[in-house]
Structure 1
């Protein structure tokens, strides 16, 4: 299996800052959970969507279909 190495300073601070102490303590599962929980909370805040769970939030936020009233979406900049 081939593993790709990613430097911590290349990660977004929203994910890395809450996870860094857990990573240093070698609590790998807790590291991932802390990063995911924080990113979910930030996404809820940004979109003002506290009415749905994590999976639905991500599915609706990044859905390529037209946005529905009261359900804002995010788009990544166009890339080749």
Structure 2
């Protein structure tokens, strides 16, 4: 591959990464908002702020889908939705 082709190829791949990042940010915000609403609804109905079994399901799904790093990502996702413990 020539240097010019490599430069064009890298630019195209970086553009796609930027598109994926934009989608990820949009989905992250949407997920956090839904999680906040679920928590508020649960508390208003007399429930607890957290459902640990649900959080474990999410952590398991991320770990199974991504690997060990998925656990860390799941913790960040959960924190975005519920705030720090």
User: Which protein is richer in helix relative to its size?
Assistant: 2
TM-score (norm 1): 0.31
TM-score (norm 2): 0.30
Report the structure number with the largest CA radius of gyration.
2
Higher RCO (CA < 8 A, seq sep 6+): 2
